[in-house]
């Protein structure tokens, strides 16, 4: 060795020269812990779906084989394929999920995750895993839950209560349209639900990735939503919100029965899909009538002479703004 002086000593000399500006060598605490780490013991996590109990240790093999390529070995959403995907695979370490039956901000139920696996996530690269047995899916759910400490500290949220669906009528659709206008769904989803509202191009998700609002008019007869295809599923989406995205929860704003009217209207925005709602609209001549709030309806609309049209609040004068694109 040419230079036998220890490096600390040389820095010490530098300190003398630089006086007060001297910086001390980084302490051992700041250095990374190099070298191999012993494997982390797997948490004994379970999932409960009906009579099936899932075990994390039994889900590990399937996860590594089928899921890690996108979701990453550590569940952080950084699998080797993630760079090519939009939207990005879910990061399980933060335990934020889009498809829940539970209120915004809470953990989904085991059953929510189990159903997501069986359904896949439409309009994304998340595949359908319905060839797995129920046991395999339950084990995978338990395994996913090992990635975030939230599952040890918090319970899953309570599933929201959904009242029985009322009949589809043109009045129900008209009221749904009034709500779509009043609650400004159109600002993101667009007046015809085409995903092209004035705010649409500005939206990003919680990971700063650009995200587009759902285009209701795209898709054919088999068009689905991210979190399911039934009317109950749509109800759940806007009442619980799509966590991790700008799509808000409306549970505090919309009354349960009003929510059904909104569901019925949203179906008419799916212009290519065969549905009860589109049949009712067709039978009504294809035009959604203006909604008049029952409490504010004048006793006699046509007999109101001299005073002009009865005064309606802004929220109910919606007839010409939102109209399905047909």
Q: How far apart are CA 315 and CA 292, in angstroms?
A: 10
Closest Cα partner for 257 from 179, 313, 185? 179
Whole-number Å distance between alpha carbons of 68 and 76? 10
Q: Which of 95, 142, 156, 234 lies at the binding interface for ligand HEC (CB under 6 A)? A: 234
Rounded Cα distance between 73 and 9, Å, is 44
Site string for ligand HEC, 283-302 (x = CB under 6 A): --------------------
Site string for ligand HEC, 106-145 (x = CB under 6 A): -------x--xx---x-xxxxx-x----------x---x-
Write phi, then psi, for 52 (nearest 5 degrees). -95, 130
Taking the least distance from each CB to ligand HEC, the nearer of 259 and 292 is 259
Q: Quick one: 94 or 290, whose CB is closer to ligand HEC?
A: 94
Contact (CB, 8 A) for 248 and 237: no
Beta strands 46-49 and 52-55: pairing type?
A: antiparallel
Q: How far is the CB of 220 from ligand HEC (least distance, A)?
A: 15
In the shown chain, the binding pattern of residues 149 to 188 toward ligand HEC, with x for contact by CB under 6 A and - for none, equals ----------------------------------xxx-xx
Please report how close the Cβ of residue 3 comes to ligand HEC at its closest, in angstroms: 53
Helix and strand counts by DSSP (H, E) for the chain = 11, 2
Q: Which residue in 81, 135, 223, 315 binds ligand HEC (CB under 6 A)?
A: 81
How many whole angstroms separate alpha carbon 312 and alpha carbon 318? 10
Among 49, 56, 71, 288, binds ligand HEC (CB under 6 A): 71
242 scored as a contact of ligand HEC (CB under 6 A): yes
């Amino acid at each position: 060795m040419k230079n036998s002086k220890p490096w600390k000593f040389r820095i010490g000399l530098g300190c003398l020269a630089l006086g007060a500006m001297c910086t001390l060598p980084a302490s051992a605490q700041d250095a990374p812990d190099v070298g191999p780490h012993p494997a982390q013991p797997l948490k004994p996590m379970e999932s409960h779906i009906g009579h099936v109990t899932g075990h994390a240790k039994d889900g590990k093999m399937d996860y590594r084989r089928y899921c890690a390529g996108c979701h990453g070995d550590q569940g952080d959403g950084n699998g080797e394929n993630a760079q090519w995907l939009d939207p990005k695979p879910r990061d399980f370490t933060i335990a934020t999920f889009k498809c829940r039956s539970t209120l915004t901000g809470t953990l989904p139920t085991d059953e929510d995750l189990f159903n997501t696996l069986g359904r896949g996530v439409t309009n994304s690269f998340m595949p359908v895993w319905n060839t797995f047995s129920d046991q395999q899916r339950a084990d995978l759910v338990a395994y996913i839950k090992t990635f975030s400490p939230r599952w040890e500290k918090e319970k899953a949220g309570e599933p929201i209560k959904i009242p029985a669906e009322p009949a589809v009528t043109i009045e129900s659709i008209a009221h749904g349209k009034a709500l779509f206008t009043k609650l400004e769904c159109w600002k993101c989803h667009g007046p015809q639900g085409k995903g092209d509202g004035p705010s649409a191009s500005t939206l990003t998700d919680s990971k700063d990735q650009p995200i587009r609002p759902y285009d209701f008019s795209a898709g054919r007869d088999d068009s689905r939503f991210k979190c399911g295809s039934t009317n109950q599923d749509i109800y759940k989406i806007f009442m619980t919100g799509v966590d991790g995205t700008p799509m808000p929860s409306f549970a505090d704003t919309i009354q349960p029965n009003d929510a059904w009217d909104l569901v019925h209207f949203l179906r008419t925005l799916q212009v290519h899909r065969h549905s009860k709602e589109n049949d009712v609209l067709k039978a009504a001549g294809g035009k959604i009538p203006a909604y008049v709030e029952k409490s504010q309806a004048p006793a006699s609309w046509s007999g109101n002479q001299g005073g002009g049209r009865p005064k309606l609040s802004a929220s109910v004068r919606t007839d010409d703004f939102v109209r399905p694109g047909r």
